[in-house]
A = this chain, B = another copy of it.
Amino acid sequence: MEAVYFKFILSLGLVLIFARIFGELSERYFKQPAVLGELVAGIIISPFLLGGLIHDPIILNFATVHNPFGLQGDFDIMYIIANIAVVILLFQAGVETDIRSFLKQAPTGFAVAFGGVVLPFVGGYFVTRALCPDVGIGGWLFMGAVLTATSIGVTVRILMDMGRLNTPEGTTILVAAVVDDIIGLIILSIVIGLSETGEFEILEAVKIGAIGFAVWFSLLLIGIKLNKYISRFLLNPFKSSGTAPIVALIIGFLVAYLVTLVDLHPVVGAYVAGLIFSACQEKEEIIEKGRPIMLFAAPFFFAYLGMMVDLRLFGAPGAAVLAVLLIVVAMVGKLIGCYIPARFAGKLSHNSGMIVGVGMVPRAEVGLIVAAAGYIAGAISLGLYGAAVAVCVVTTLVTPAMLKPFFKRQLAQVSEPVSGDSNSSNSA
């Protein structure tokens, strides 16, 4: 009676328990955010290390099915569960966001997003061009695109764990992450167009970006203007059974899918759905019931990010120098590109500016998706792909440790006004 799903139950349990143990060790003995421990746990138990020793297609492995439905790409069941987990995380972040702080920081967030795109893109393009002149413009552009895309998960998790979501720098990062996703979409569409047809389809790209913006802002507006009706017609019917918060989360799933129809990332949809409910009067109840679901699910996403790291990819000859240079460009470019607008457009302090800059550094799965798109399109080689993976891994791993001292300094100074959640740190 050995059933395949038994092994999935085991795998899920193992990933989660390792994530939790390493997360706890990370906090307690290394004074680092739990998310760092979860990422490291993932690397250790990955199919490329511990999982590889088990020789089972499912247990601590990806259970990858190649092209089962005639669709492009592989079909990785653990990846699906991880992505469901990050949707839950970003929905919860949305509900916990103070929508007023979010709107207040919107202009700064826009400036930060644009600043954080320019330097890494230009840097990635020229570094690749200098070191790999034979790759061609398609490859150079793709590597630029890999370097632009911020993955918000790690930073949001740290902001939530430390109760810093509703600080000016927290909401600036959140606005910037949303805008960054839309800019990334525009860039990717231009880059794919260029590498496929050789033409610079700027109008098409701007159209895609404009639609993305329009959809996202319409959803935000719905939350701001129509939250009374959302409470009355969507949540109220489920109040007597106590499932209104669950219904809110389910709507988060549906919105996460809806935004993918205009090519936005599902987490951007989940986040805006959360924002909509953060404007509703049921906010507190949704936060309270959503926290345990998020605490249960989110570590799976971060451990999974670690599990995707094949350390051997970094050993490819020639890739090392390129990888190191790209990592430097990715980090310094994003940091400076975000710090300057945060400081001067947003009038944030040096410390807050550094939090915004460092918080935008992780590329994680978003960078990997862009790199994979380039690899599948034939625009970048396996060596370049390895370097891109290195960028995504390193930028993600260093962020928790880099963020921590700035938060610590800020908490010691208590120089910034904190609206709301500073005491809710991780205690759910």
Tally A residues with Cβ within 8 Å of B: 68
Within 8 A of B (CB), among A1-54: 1-10, 12-14, 16-17, 20, 23-24, 27-28, 34
A292 within 8 A of B: yes
- Given known pairs A4-B73, A293-B292, the reply for A250 and B80 (CB within 8 Å) is no
Residue pair A296, B295 in contact (C-beta under 8 Å): no
Least CB distance from A190 to B in Å reads 14
A242 within 8 A of B: yes
Tally of this chain's copies: 2
Interface of A is mostly: helix
A241 within 8 A of B: yes
- CB-defined contacts of A237 to chain B, threshold 8 Å: 24
Stretch in A102-110, A256-264, A408-416 with 4+ CB within 8 Å of B? A256-264
Residue pair A24, B238 in contact (C-beta under 8 Å): yes
Residue pair B246, A292 in contact (C-beta under 8 Å): yes
A233 within 8 A of B: no
- CB-defined contacts of A57 to chain B, threshold 8 Å: 69
- CB-defined contacts of A242 to chain B, threshold 8 Å: 295, 426-428
A243 within 8 A of B: yes
Least CB distance from A294 to B in Å reads 10
A77 within 8 A of B: yes
A-B contact pairs, 22 of them (CB 8 A): A2-B260, A3-B73, A4-B71, A5-B80, A10-B253, A13-B256, A14-B254, A16-B250, A16-B253, A17-B247, A20-B238, A20-B243, A24-B237, A24-B241, A57-B69, A77-B77, A77-B80, A242-B426, A245-B292, A289-B295, A290-B292, A292-B293
